């Protein structure tokens, strides 16, 4: 069939315009995630957790507030306002229930919020002060909290769908066997869990030691790092058999490759960034890692800046 040349030209132009539109759409959708995400001035953050989609959460140490932001746009707002008598240290999001579990620091409590509305759902006294409830991990049937000032973990049982019981309780699990506790020092800090929820991993900030812990008994076995250690270990993130350990004052993240039985590990590399300003905790999204700059050692003022930093995974 004959097609007039002018018709062919118009068709070609139309095809080129369509291709250009798709190219522009593709470029827009592939826009890079921001490398630095500002948090509110004077926020004094510590913990970070990934939420649904590109959402993340960061807690404020002295005020108990929680900030919710977007890793893609870099925008966000305070979700949980300042809470009198609350601290927000480590935190984790449970996608099954859209609940946010927060370690309550010196209060000795666990706080649970609605991650959508910010409403207070529950407040659980894990232990009387003095205490420092530092971090939390959620498994299929429980939330586990560390206490940096005592050799104890706290287990908050959940239903098999992740719901809190009508009367939430906590169970103390003394860290036994090989766990080395140093009185007066900062001990158990970051915590994560294997997918089956039966084994936990914790780091001792003062000794730079990693442990695998039986989630039912608290029995702790040291993970042999050979000549290596992770002093100032803070938040941790387990991906497969790779464990990322934030070393706050050292401004680095240790990448530890663990053996299949978790009895040994090797520090394979160290992740650093010129944007690190005493990072404390870590969360993952896709192939990327995110840390939050707590800026410990910098006197906080109303104008002190804090931020979340994107670190490409190696």
> Which of the 8 DSSP states describes residue 90?
S
pTM for this prediction: 0.90
Question: Between β-strands 91-94 and 209-214, what pairing exists: parallel, antiparallel or unpaired?
Answer: unpaired
Residues whose CB is less than 8 angstroms from the CB of residue 29 and which lie 6 or more positions away in sequence, other chains included: none
**Total tally of structural domains belonging to the chain:** 2
Q: pLDDT for 179-190, tens place per residue?
A: 999 999 999 999
Question: Between β-strands 142-147 and 133-138, what pairing exists: parallel, antiparallel or unpaired?
Answer: antiparallel
Backbone angles phi, psi at 2, to 5 degrees: -80, 135
Q: Give pLDDT tens digits along the chain (314 positions).
A: 444 444 444 444 444 444 444 444 443 345 689 999 999 999 999 999 999 999 999 999 999 999 999 999 999 999 999 999 999 999 999 999 999 999 999 999 999 999 999 999 999 999 999 999 999 999 999 999 999 999 999 999 999 999 999 999 999 999 999 999 999 999 999 999 999 999 999 999 999 999 999 999 999 999 999 999 999 999 999 999 999 999 999 999 999 999 999 999 999 999 999 999 999 999 999 889 999 999 999 999 999 999 999 996 56
Q: pLDDT for 88-124, tens place per residue?
A: 999 999 999 999 999 999 999 999 999 999 999 999 9
Please give the residue range of the domain that contains residue 283.
36-312
Kindly tell me the burial class for residue 286, based on how many C-beta atoms sit within 10 Å of its own C-beta (0-12, 13-18, 19 or more). exposed
Do 22 and 69 lie in one domain? The reply is: no
The CATH number of whichever domain residue 191 belongs to comes to 2.130.10.10
CA atoms within 13 A on the CB side of 19: 6
Do 170 and 201 lie in one domain? The reply is: yes
Q: How high is the pLDDT of residue 313?
A: 59
Do 107 and 3 lie in one domain? The reply is: no
Do 27 and 108 lie in one domain? The reply is: no
Do 12 and 119 lie in one domain? The reply is: no
User: Are the C-beta atoms of 169 and 142 separated by less than 8 Å?
Assistant: no
Do 189 and 290 lie in one domain? The reply is: yes
Do 18 and 49 lie in one domain? The reply is: no
Backbone angles phi, psi at 151, to 5 degrees: -80, 65
Do 27 and 114 lie in one domain? The reply is: no
Cis peptide before 204 (omega within 30 of 0): no
Render 58-70 in DSSP notation, one character per residue.
Answer: EEETTT--EEEEE
């Amino acid at each position: 069939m004959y097609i007039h040349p002018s018709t062919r030209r118009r068709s070609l132009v139309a095809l080129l315009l369509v291709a250009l539109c798709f190219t522009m759409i593709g470029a827009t959708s592939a826009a890079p995630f921001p490398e630095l995400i500002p948090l509110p001035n004077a926020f004094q953050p510590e913990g970070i957790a990934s939420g649904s989609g590109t959402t993340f959460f960061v807690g404020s140490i002295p005020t108990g507030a929680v900030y919710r932001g977007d890793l893609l746009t870099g925008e966000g707002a305070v979700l949980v306002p300042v809470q009198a008598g609350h601290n927000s240290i480590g935190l984790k999001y449970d996608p099954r229930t859209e609940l946010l579990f927060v370690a309550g620091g010196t209060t000795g409590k666990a706080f649970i919020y609605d991650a959508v509305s910010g409403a207070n759902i529950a407040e659980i006294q894990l232990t009387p002060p003095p205490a420092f409830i530092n971090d939390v991990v959620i498994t299929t049937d429980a939330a586990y909290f560390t206490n940096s000032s005592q050799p104890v973990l706290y287990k908050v049982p959940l239903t098999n769908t992740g719901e809190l019981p009508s009367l939430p309780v906590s169970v103390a699990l003394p860290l036994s066997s090989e766990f080395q506790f140093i009185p007066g020092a900062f001990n158990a800090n970051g915590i994560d869990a294997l997918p089956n929820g039966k084994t936990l991993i914790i780091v001792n900030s003062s000794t730079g030691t990693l442990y695998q812990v039986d989630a039912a008994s608290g029995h702790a076995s040291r993970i042999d790092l050979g000549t290596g250690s992770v002093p100032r270990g803070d938040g941790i993130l387990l991906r497969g058999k790779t464990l990322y350990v934030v070393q706050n004052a050292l401004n680095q993240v240790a990448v530890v490759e663990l053996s299949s039985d978790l009895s040994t590990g090797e520090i394979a590399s160290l992740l650093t960034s010129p944007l690190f300003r005493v990072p404390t905790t870590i969360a993952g999204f896709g192939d990327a890692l995110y840390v939050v700059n707590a800026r410990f050692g910098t006197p906080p003022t109303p104008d002190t800046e804090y931020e979340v930093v994107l670190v490409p995974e190696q």
